[in-house]
Structure formats: C-alpha cells, structure tokens
Structure 1
Amino acid sequence: MQWTQEAMQARLVRYADLVPCRTAFIDTNTPGSTEKENFTIIGPGVSENADQFVHIVEKHGFNVGAARQPFGCVNSQHSHETAEVFVVHSGHWRLLFGPNCEDGTLEIGPGDVASVPTRMFRGFEKIDEGTGFLFVVLGDDDPGRVTWAPAVFEAAADHGLKLAKGGRLIDTSSGDYQLKDVELEDVLDTEAVAELKTPPAEKLKECIVRAGEAPVNPVSPLAAPGVGEAGLIVPQYTGDGFGPGPIVGWWPHGFNLRQLTLESGAYVPLHQRGEVEVLFVQEGVLEVSWDGGAIVMGPGDTLTVPVGLPHAFRNTASVTSVIFVVRGTETPGAPVFS
C-alpha cells in the first residue's frame, strides 16, 4: 500500500481531537464520578455505552484508551481479565486497591507507568488541582468487560443505572422506564470477591516505573547520539536486544512498552518493523517521516505506524522529546534499517 499523507493522517489522533464519553460506565451518575471523560483511541475498549466513539478500529493485539478527570474525580473499583497499564501524561493520581479501597494505595505522577495485575480490584482518582490525563493500554484485541465491585452496583442503582448481561448500560433515571425482558448482570458474591485478591504491597511495587528511573539500553538498535530507548514493560528477552524488566508481570501483557528520548535535532533514520508500533508523545515534538510525507506530533498526540512502513524520527524542537512506544507482541524483533 502507498501510505499517502492522507492515509497516515487517518492513523493520527491529536489530543485536541479526542472525542470523550461521559457516560461510558455504570458509575457515571455516582457522585464523585460524574465528571470523568473516557476515550477509546484504538480498539473497542471496555466501554459499557454503545455510543462510545472509537477513533481507530483496526486490530492491534491490544487496546489504547485514555481517561481525563478533574481534581477529586474517581474511577470506581473494578477488575480486568487482561493487562491494564497506566501511563501518566499529566496530573497526579492515586490508585486504590481492594473491592472497598481497603487494600492500600499507590500514587503516580507525570511520566510514571503502572501496570495493574489482572483479576484484582483497582480504581483511581485525580488528587491534585486541575485536570489530568492518563493513557491506558489494555491487553488483547478483545479485553473483555469490566468486573465491578459490589459497592459500585449499589451506588449506581441509587442513581438510576443498571448493567445488563453482556455489559450494556441501562439508564432508568428518566421517566417511568421499566426493566422488561432485561437480564441484569449478577453482583459478585463474597466468594467471587475473595478470588480477586490484591497482591501484597511489596509485590505491587514490581508493577511501577517512576519517570526517569528506567535505564537507557545502550544496545537498542535505535541508540544513536542524542537518542535513547529504555524498556518499561518487557516481559521476556526480545529480538531487538532488551532483557526482561523493569516491569515483567506474572500475567501476560502481549506487548512491550518503551520510552524513546530524542535530544534537540536528534534523528533515527528510516527503518521498518514487523510488528505494530504505537507512539504517544509525552513531552516535546516528534516528526515522523516516510516516503510520501511527514507528520509532526505534539504532547498528547497518538500515532499508529503501519507494520512494514519505513519511517524515520526527528526532534525538530529545541527541547527534548519524550515518547512512549507500545510495540506489539512480548518479543518484538529488531528493526530493519533502509
């Protein structure tokens, strides 16, 4: 395929162009959660609202979403069957563990990465002034549906929201709406809740990388003057020279997460990859070019690069560029340079 400027623009999601959904989940009407915005950037995500806008529907082997919340806004306690990785773009956040937030907390800020294990309850709240933004990477093409803590169902019911089997959200708060021929989702019993046990705090510390703490890999194929690539989530040895860690996980991720840093003027020449590559710009500016055009990305922008497309990177600004990169599969191969 000839990747024209127009075709590549369709694979770019600007931060300013993100389409939010404020009614994505069962806690939408619950006080404290009414102001959150959810985004589905790549893949179907886990939204319970059929009206959730999906920016890019192409299957990648993982999903990319986001959350934007003001100070004090809470995303209620839930569990996932596949990986859920938080990449903090802006703001300070508190992760809350346990079905009733009783199993401890973990605070994360800009540039931090946290991968929450599957099959445990987690929630998150924005804890500083202003609005914050989180990128979220979910494992698999179909990440399944959210499993909510019992207290979330109870609070939602008090404000008119019900969840049907299969994850369809029903709003009963307006008029004389009656639930006819609708089978509602079961609330977890005590035994089922106990199975979604929070790991010990020491174990959860293996699931976070603070901004700037991950060492640059000197043998990364992208390494060059002014260019560094660090592994953040690397479950196992890869074909491009990365060893496991710092986040490995005792559950499958299905992807790698890297951090690419380019000093002002730094350049990565044309190269192609055999797996999916998704870029999030954290700081600065990144020019992505190919035979046919170029795109300049800014903070908060997302681009998915076609598999096999020779492309180059350049920092065209006077400040350092920091980019988070999701590479498909747990063992991505080495790039092929043109």
Structure 2
Amino acid sequence: MKMTPAQMDARIVRYGDLKPCKTAFIDAHTPGSDQKENFTIIGGGVSESADQHVHITETPGFNIGAAGQPPKCRNSLHSHRTAEVFFVLKGRWRFFWGRWGKAGEVVLEEGDIINIPTGIFRGFENIGTDYGMIMAVLGGDDAGGGVIWAPQVIEDARNHGLVLGENGKLYDSKKGQALPAGVSPMPLLSEEQLKDFPELTTAQVLPDYVARYWDMVALSDRQPCKVLGAEGLLRDRPGFEIDFLTRGSIPGTAYATDRHEVLMPVRGYWRMDWDGGSTVLNPGDTAAIPPGLSHSLTPAMTGEAALYRIRNTDDPAGLTGRLS
C-alpha cells in the first residue's frame, strides 16, 4: 500500500488548524462554562451543536476530540455510555465526579492520562494559569450516541437560554430559536434513574484509571508502554487500546498493522516516514494511519519526545470501564 503526501495530509489534523466550537454543549451560556471550546478531530463526537466542525469524518472504531479552556473554566457534569479517556496536552486540570461532583477528584499534569469509569457523572476544569488543552478518545463509531447530563446542568442551561431537545439538538432562545413542533425538551433523569450512576471515591478510581506521565516514561525506555488494554496499566477493553512511546521505545524500523492507528504527540517533534512520503508531527497534531500502510517513527530533534498511539480492537465499545 502506498499513499501520496497529499493523501496523508488529508489524514493529519494539525494543532494550529483545529477549529473550535464555543456552542457545542448545553452549558455554553452557563457562567463558569461559557468560555470553553470543543474540537472534534476524528468522528462526529458528541457535540450537540450544528456549528461543530468535524475535521475527519471517517471513524476507526473510536472518536478523537479535544477541549480547550481558559483558567477557572469548567466542563459541567455529564456521563457517557462508552469509554472517555483524556490526556493532558497543555496545562493543569482537575477532574471530578459524582452526582454533584463531590464524590472524588484528581489533578492531572501535562502528559497524564485518565480513563474515566463509564457510567459516572464527571466534569473537569482548568486549574492552571494559562489556556489549557486536553485530548479525548471516545469509544465507538458514534461515541455512545450522545451525552447524559446531570439534571442540574439542564436546569441551569435553561435559565441562561439554552434548551436541549429530546432529539439531542440545542436550541438557543438568545438567537430566537425554539423547540420545533413535536419535539419535547430532554427529560431530566428521575431519582430512580440517578441510582444507576455510582458515587465513586478517589481511592476507587486512582489505582486503575489514572497513569502518570513520568511513570510511563520510565516504563517505555526499551519498548512501548502499554497504557490501556487487556495488558495495560489501565486494564480496560473499550474497543481501543493505547500505547505510550518515547525515544527509547522506538526501533526506527518500518512496520504495518491491520488495525487503524492514530498518533498523537505529547512532547517533542516526531518524523514519520511512510511508503510514499515523510512529514513531522508536532505536539497536538493527530495523524490517522490506515491499516496496511508501512510507516516508521523517529524523534526529529534531540531532547524529550513522547507520543500516544491508539489502535482499534475487536472488543465491544460498551460498558467495560464501569465500576459500581
């Protein structure tokens, strides 16, 4: 299999070319959450807005997205039906969870990764001093069909002009929009339904769902560090697996796989050669490598270099990460 540079360019989303959407979700007008930016890089993600730009529509069994937020900006409490895995590209972030966001929390630094257990309400905020960026992997081609919001999020949004229809679309009264005939507002979860969302402590989540950057660096000095998967530090099988690569774990020889592969640099610059061309991947770039394409990776400069590699698996993208 060969691929021209132009064909590969269409499969690489550069960090500087990312197109944000500031009205992606129901809390887009809610104070404290109204400055966040949502990015859909591979697949349609879970955005509720028709304004959301999708960079690569073809999905490899999972979706790739990102969230950019200024300091003190937060993403409201929500849940997903499939896996949601984040790694920190820029900044310092606090992840919190539970019905009211008080059951547990963890602070992640640049390069750290968290596989948030499926079926719990979760939120996150930038607690750093500059604009921050987190990258996300969502399980499934359709990312579980959307977002499940904590009831208070829907109520707060309504008070600030945004209504979510039961069709999963947003309507903004500030723009003169209203629910179409025959479309009802998204119903709030009942108290009985809320019992299905576990309240997990920090001690329950940290050991099996969080991996630290420097621990992964230490484990990848001779071979890629298996981060998420049946044999990973985070033992989950949500329909994709994640490896962590550094300068020491790259043999430099070309390889091909029968899986879809997505490369996401965290630190340093990476030269990627393939059968048909060559390019350099920078931190924040996302490259979708098709099955069967022979390619190789080498750090393009001296110094620190780290990269996440995601591949689809045959495992179902379901409730594999759930705790109770």
The TM-score normalised by the length of structure 1 is 0.88
Give me the whole-angstrom Cα distance separating, in 2, the residues matched to 1:217 and 1:319. 18
Q: 1:270 to 1:192 in 2, by over 3 A?
A: same
Correspondence for 2:240 among 241, 251, 255: 255
Detail structure 1 runs of 4+ shifted over 4 Å in the superposition. Answer: 175-179, 215-218
Correspondence for 1:212 among 198, 211, 214: 214
Q: 1:248 to 1:273 in 2, by over 3 A?
A: same
Residue 181 of structure 1, CA deviation = 3.1
> Which residues in structure 2 correspond to 1:13-162 (within 5 Å)?
13-143=13-143, 144-162=145-163
| Alignment match, 2:232 | 245
| Alignment match, 1:283 | 267
Give me the whole-angstrom Cα distance separating, in 2, the residues matched to 1:92 and 1:178. 38
| Alignment match, 1:232 | 227
Indicate the structure whose relative CO is greater, using CA pairs within 8 Å and at least 6 residues apart: 2
Cα offsets for 1:84-113 (capped at 9, x unmatched):
001111111111111211212111110100
| Alignment match, 2:319 | none
Q: 1:177 to 1:142 in 2, by over 3 A?
A: closer
| Alignment match, 2:9 | 9
| Alignment match, 1:293 | 277
Q: 1:178 to 1:167 in 2, by over 3 A?
A: closer
| 1:216–1:228 CA contact under 8 A, matched in 2 | no
Give me the whole-angstrom Cα distance separating, in 1, the residues matched to 2:291 and 2:67. 27
Give me the whole-angstrom Cα distance separating, in 2, the residues matched to 1:63 and 1:227. 29
Matched residue SS, 2:81 = coil
Give me the whole-angstrom Cα distance separating, in 2, the residues matched to 1:174 and 1:57. 28
Matched residue SS, 1:280 = strand
| Alignment match, 1:221 | none
| 1:256–1:327 CA contact under 8 A, matched in 2 | yes
Identity of aligned residues (%): 40
Q: 1:327 to 1:217 in 2, by over 3 A?
A: farther
How many residue pairs get matched?
313
The structure carrying a bigger helix percent of its residues is 2
> Which residues in structure 2 correspond to 1:267-282 (within 5 Å)?
268-282=252-266
Give me the whole-angstrom Cα distance separating, in 2, the residues matched to 1:176 and 1:186. 19
Unaligned runs of 5+ in 1: 219-225, 237-243, 332-338
Give me the whole-angstrom Cα distance separating, in 1, the residues matched to 2:210 and 2:177. 47
| Alignment match, 1:241 | none
Give me the whole-angstrom Cα distance separating, in 2, the residues matched to 1:176 and 1:277. 41
Bigger shift: residues 309-318 or 125-134: 309-318
The TM-score normalised by the length of structure 2 is 0.92
Which letter does structure 1 place at the counterpart of 2:47? S
Give me the whole-angstrom Cα distance separating, in 1, the residues matched to 2:251 and 2:267. 16
| 2:87–2:135 CA contact under 8 A, matched in 1 | yes
Q: 1:153 to 1:8 in 2, by over 3 A?
A: same
Which letter does structure 2 place at the counterpart of 1:233? L
Bigger shift: residues 101-110 or 115-124: 101-110
Matched residue SS, 1:8 = helix
| Alignment match, 1:314 | 298
Which letter does structure 2 place at the counterpart of 1:212? W
Cα offsets for 1:199-233 (capped at 9, x unmatched):
33322011000112137668xxxxxxx76311111
Give me the whole-angstrom Cα distance separating, in 2, the residues matched to 1:45 and 1:177. 24
| Alignment match, 2:321 | none
| 1:263–1:320 CA contact under 8 A, matched in 2 | no
| 1:111–1:282 CA contact under 8 A, matched in 2 | yes
Which letter does structure 2 place at the counterpart of 1:315? P
Unaligned runs of 5+ in 2: 316-324
Matched residue SS, 1:269 = coil
| 1:256–1:330 CA contact under 8 A, matched in 2 | no
Two-structure CA RMSD over aligned residues (Å): 1.9
| 1:113–1:209 CA contact under 8 A, matched in 2 | yes
Q: 1:178 to 1:169 in 2, by over 3 A?
A: closer
Q: 1:215 to 1:129 in 2, by over 3 A?
A: closer
Which letter does structure 2 place at the counterpart of 1:310? S
| Alignment match, 1:200 | 201
